[in-house]
Each structure stands twice: as C-alpha cells, then as structure tokens.
Amino acid sequence: MKGKQNNIVIGIFVEMIFAAIVVAGGWMISVLL
C-alpha cells in the first residue's frame, strides 16, 4: 500500500517536471529569438 502511494507521489512529481520542462522550453524560445 505504501509502495503504491510512493509511486503516485513520485509519478505526480515526474509529470510536474515534464510540464515545467515544456514551460521552460517556451521561455528559452522567447529568450533565444
């Protein structure tokens, strides 16, 4: 049960990192151009 909860917490963290990378990519494009 605890392992399942850990998976969910880490999974949410991984998804947030992905979304943050997309946002950071947009910032980079704005800066570079």
Contact positions toward another protein, by CB under 8 A? 4, 7-8, 10-12, 14-16, 18-20, 22-23, 25-27, 29-31, 33
To another protein, the closest distance from the beta carbon of 14 in angstroms equals: 5
To another protein, the closest distance from the beta carbon of 1 in angstroms equals: 14
Measured at the CA of 21, the angle between CA 15 and CA 24, to 5 degrees, comes to: 145
To another protein, the closest distance from the beta carbon of 15 in angstroms equals: 6
Q: Give how far Cα 18 sits from Cα of 5, 7, 15, 23, Å.
A: 20, 16, 5, 9
